[in-house]
Amino acid sequence: MHIFELSKRKDLFEEAVDAFWKQWGSEESYLFYKDCMHRSCETDEEVPRFYIALEDETIIGTFAILRNDINSRQDLSPWIACLYVDPEWRGRGLGAQFLQYALKEAGRKGYKKLYLATDHDGYYKRYNWLHSSEAYGLGGNFIKVYEKSTGL
């Protein structure tokens, strides 16, 4: 398994858009994902960045490092989002590898912390992510915010 920043594997761009959109999008959001991912491949900025995990040129997992994942928490950056492991590849520690890779990338880019928003309590606590606060979505629902030091 190898992890690639999508901007380094533009040959898989359409396949990557499909992978992210199928897991995280809705019928109306395909162009949103495509535009976000296209712009991440064209910018010189450190974030946003989208990552794909490949096994024999097949996408088996995804994640992104974004400026922001929750609109009400503009004070926090960057965020890991869209963490996904194909069901056939689960139980092999790939999610933990993606988290560690994202932390190293965020540190390399000069960030002291990485944030995430989730309703999966136990999963991130298992990897020593700290539940630090809550955030509110546009619909008024709250979601837990976790953070972890990049070691910088």
Instruction: Provide mean pLDDT across the span 113-118.
Output: 96
CB of 79 closer than 8 Å to CB of 45: no
Average pLDDT for residues 26-45, to the nearest whole number?
96
- pLDDT band at residue 70, thresholds of 50, 70 and 90? confident
- Candidates 115, 102, 112; CA nearest to 5 is 102
Cβ atoms of 116 and 129 closer than 8 Å: yes
Task: Give me the number of domains the chain comprises.
Answer: 1
Q: What is the mean pLDDT of the chain?
A: 95
Nearest to 151 by CA among 96, 109, 117: 109
CATH code of the domain covering residue 6: 3.40.630.30
Write out pLDDT tens, residues 72-99.
899 999 999 999 999 999 999 999 999 9
Domain that holds residue 75: 2-149
Global confidence as pTM:
0.94
